[in-house]
Homo-oligomer: A and B are copies of this chain.
């Protein structure tokens, strides 16, 4: 169960903004909208793969995801939010051309007790394909066929990587072209690795579907998503940063997923030629009460802040009733659970920001589980689309990253 509250006012033209995203969904301009409702075939395909590969999966200890950006952030966010509840397999994420990181990650595992999932939407992401080659070499292979049983490919329908998979008898799952990388966690991109690691992907999808049905079927916007999107878009020039202040370390990678979703979707030149965007900032409470809070309180008034709080963390350790001489000022929490402390810290920080009129809202998850993760992922995807609609931008492309790719190629070609 997820509840929310918004502590700012905004006059909103609900119908206009709603109609824009409903039209995007209807026309298939972005395919992520329907992922919670149209994936029975994929779930069955994943189940079939598991059944047919028991020999490999039985002794498999590690699910290694090779992908960067939208190809890894979503599964990583869900895994790191839930791994404490579930006896999942170990998941590793190879997502950088950083040689020390590659060495460190692969150093942790036996490659012959691992399945490698190569994810590239275009099929030609330079980091991912280079890492793919490196993994082939680790197995002494020069073609994917030689390690086909330990490989899975995930890529756009019709890409050259899909063809490579077919030619080499490698299990290949595809993504629809209209599902953008950063909106792809509920497609094969997220579902395949999470299912193999042991998570309940049907419940994850059902969680997302709850919000889908509330919003698009019942047309009940109980979280005020349209109001929030309208507020953020209307005030984007003054409130140019949106801070996600998450009161659990387990959502650190969820924050990173949000930063990509928000930054790459909303940082755009709009249809009138104006630069639009909201800078996403992910911080963790209470740690960042000791780092970033001062800036929000007393620095320029250019931030809105969204809090995320977990009502029940499933861990009930308490602060012992020990009195230390001279430190009696800290005894007011004695005998309380750390959960109570962190949640009251969240409430106190929220109140302190409200007291100085920083625009805030809060999202409360009853607990961290597949259902709530599916729901909150869909919440942020939908919010991103709504802000994009209010901005009048193309939320789903990323033209600004092409220049660097071209320059990189030139540098290598020049030697």
Partner of A327, one of B96, B161, B399: B161
Q: Does A347 contact B (CB under 8 A)?
A: yes
A340: nearest chain-B partner, CB-CB: B412
Q: Does A200 contact B (CB under 8 A)?
A: no
Contact A99 B130 (CB under 8 A): no
Residues of chain B within 8 A (CB-CB) of A320 are: 133-134, 136-137
Grouping DSSP codes into helix (H, G, I), strand (E, B) and loop, the A interface class, with mixed when no group exceeds half, is helix
Residues of chain B within 8 A (CB-CB) of A334 are: 133
Residues of chain B within 8 A (CB-CB) of A288 are: 260
A270: nearest chain-B partner, CB-CB: B298
Contact B98 A294 (CB under 8 A): no
Contact B248 A325 (CB under 8 A): no
Q: Does A167 contact B (CB under 8 A)?
A: yes
A162 to chain B, nearest CB (A): 9
CA distance A269 to B248 in the complex (A): 30
Contact A404 B292 (CB under 8 A): no
Residues of A276-296 whose CB lies within 8 A of B? 276-277, 279-281, 284, 286-296
CA distance A329 to B159 in the complex (A): 13
Q: Does A23 contact B (CB under 8 A)?
A: no
Residues of A353-410 whose CB lies within 8 A of B? 355-356, 398-401, 403-405, 407-409
Given the known A-B contacts A279-B241, A344-B412, A408-B344, are A338 and B297 also in contact in the complex, defined by CB atoms under 8 Å? no
Residues of chain B within 8 A (CB-CB) of A101 are: 249-250
Contact B291 A260 (CB under 8 A): yes
Residues of chain B within 8 A (CB-CB) of A164 are: 324-327
Partner of A69, one of B68, B132, B290, B324: B290
A284 to chain B, nearest CB (A): 8
Given the known A-B contacts A287-B69, A313-B100, are A275 and B298 also in contact in the complex, defined by CB atoms under 8 Å? yes
Residues of A289-334 whose CB lies within 8 A of B? 289-303, 313-317, 319-320, 322, 324-327, 329-330, 332-334
A contacts, CB < 8 Å to B? 68-70, 73, 84, 95-104, 123-124, 126-127, 129-130, 132-134, 136-137, 142-144, 160-161, 163-164, 167, 181-182, 236-237, 240-241, 247-250, 256, 259-260, 263-264, 266-269, 275-277, 279-281, 284, 286-303, 313-317, 319-320, 322, 324-327, 329-330, 332-334, 336-339, 341-342, 344-345, 347-349, 351-352, 355-356, 398-401, 403-405, 407-409, 411-413
Would you list the 3 A-B pairs with minimal beta carbon distance, nearest first?
A: A69-B290, A277-B299, A267-B295
> Apart from A100-B248, A267-B296, what are 8 other A-B pairs with CB-CB below 8 Å?
A84-B104, A103-B315, A130-B341, A167-B325, A264-B293, A267-B294, A294-B399, A352-B404
